Structure 1
């Protein structure tokens, strides 16, 4: 799964990103605004596994920012969307560049991982394509990313979201799939002979390319007024195929992975640009 424990590097990118990050907003017209920009600042807090396949969890908090023109309908984002810079092709399709932060796996603080090779944190740049198959109701999105280190490999995240709006309340739910290449799978879920010898509780294992996880994500957003909004979300994914069979996951983790979090947003008119 996409692990999104955001570190300092990601925070910097988030702060500079022109697109909204990990946020959702109901489709409300902001006709009361008069300035050239509406700025939305958000505080985000989320919980996720300490590493992909872990059975322990950690919390992280981070800010995000977005810009739009007055009268422009806010764009709906899923909480698990990567930071993106999008180009709108038409009313249905958009595409662009993305970047995501992938947390690492270290034996420090995880004694059961002693001797097993560490997975270092990384940034994953890539591209995305999304389509509103049913305008403002059904969205499908695909991201393909690769970390900047040699071992990181490629990962593709696929998802669909059914979005329902009830006045100020927006509800969304949809399935998720993740597919990874051999390099990614070996790095995250493989066990070398040296790993097995040094750790003593796992056996050598070679993970191959294929489906990594399958799950679902749900969210609820509420606009209190033109300025204040909040979002709650929760997700579940299960490591499958070679990822789920990894001795690291089976002996020291859990195939069932959960994510949860909340955001609070504040929007204001800004004419400084």
Structure 2
């Protein structure tokens, strides 16, 4: 898929994975899901000083405990192994279809492209009337040395009416040295081509942030919403010569049809 389409799709999958409830029921083999889209704004790459604006399509399909859709920044095929009225545990495999490309920004010239690679994931999500939080673990299983990443979020949520949901809360990501070196490191060869200083990125916290959003059900089938996410690069991610701006912000306005 061309990167101009893949990047906004990956953004919306990331946003929608936390906002839409899992619709599949493990006791019923029937189709459900959502189709929608909107307008999203995000940095050109992690650490960029400039943003890009795109139309953002989104789709998630469920059949019983199986689903296809967004998990963290992956497009994934997953299985809800355990689902109760509070907890959902899932596992599966997916890929980030929009890894960083040299053509994304002039600052990346000489660094080359990051390869698309399959990643296995497992996740645990808890939700009640006032809180929703989750942890998502992903690991490169394609042999491309893109390592391990942990992403987490914790949202307080409030429903002043049956149709309206407000939510806000922190998020954090941690990654091992393989992941960090791929995203933020500069090898000797890349340094020679790009003019950036050689840099070895080690394991640690990648980003911390805060997210807020609103969703409104126009009808039982139609949902509109907006969300913003402000993050700050930390440690090796912040100190990388690839990083031009440590503060990163993204947002999306969207509408979706649920079935």
TM-score range, shorter chain: 0.7 to 0.9
| Structure whose CA Rg is larger | 1
Residue in structure 1 matching 2:249, options 220, 244, 258: 258
Query: Is contact 1:227-1:266 (8 Å) kept?
Result: yes
**What is aligned with 1:72?**
none
Q: How far, CA to CA, are the matches of 1:102 and 1:195 in structure 2?
A: 23
Q: How far, CA to CA, are the matches of 2:43 and 2:97 in structure 1?
A: 12
RMSD: 3.2
Q: SS at 2:157's partner residue?
A: strand
Output the TM-score relative to the length of structure 2: 0.77
Query: Is contact 2:80-2:88 (8 Å) kept?
Result: yes
* 1:1-273 map, 5 Å: 7=6, 21-22=16-17, 24=19, 40-58=34-52, 59-66=54-61, 85-97=79-91, 99=94, 101=96, 103-108=98-103, 110-132=105-127, 135-147=128-140, 148-167=142-161, 168-200=163-195, 202-249=196-243, 253-268=244-259
Query: Is contact 2:177-2:201 (8 Å) kept?
Result: yes
Q: How far, CA to CA, are the matches of 1:247 and 1:25 in structure 2?
A: 36
Q: SS at 1:247's partner residue?
A: coil
Bigger Cα displacement from structure 2, 86-95 vs 235-244: 86-95
Q: CA deviation at 1:217?
A: 1.1
- Going from structure 1 to structure 2, the CA distance change for 1:191 and 1:79 (only over 3 Å counts) comes to closer
Q: How far, CA to CA, are the matches of 2:121 and 2:46 in structure 1?
A: 20
Query: Is contact 1:21-1:65 (8 Å) kept?
Result: no
Q: CA deviation at 1:245?
A: 0.3
Q: CA deviation at 1:47?
A: 2.2
Q: Deviations over 1:2-34 (max 9, x none)?
A: xx98629x78xx8xxxxx9547469xxxxxxxx
Q: How far, CA to CA, are the matches of 2:43 and 2:19 in structure 1?
A: 23
- Going from structure 1 to structure 2, the CA distance change for 1:243 and 1:37 (only over 3 Å counts) comes to closer
Q: CA deviation at 1:46?
A: 2.2
Q: SS at 2:111's partner residue?
A: coil
Q: CA deviation at 1:94?
A: 1.6
Q: CA deviation at 1:234?
A: 0.6
Q: CA deviation at 1:150?
A: 1.7
Mind listing any 5+ residue stretches in structure 2 that lack a counterpart?
22-29, 65-69
- Going from structure 1 to structure 2, the CA distance change for 1:56 and 1:123 (only over 3 Å counts) comes to farther
- Going from structure 1 to structure 2, the CA distance change for 1:143 and 1:100 (only over 3 Å counts) comes to farther
Q: Deviations over 1:213-239 (max 9, x none)?
A: 100111100011223220111101111
Output the TM-score relative to the length of structure 1: 0.73
Q: Deviations over 1:142-178 (max 9, x none)?
A: 0001233422111110110111101111001110110
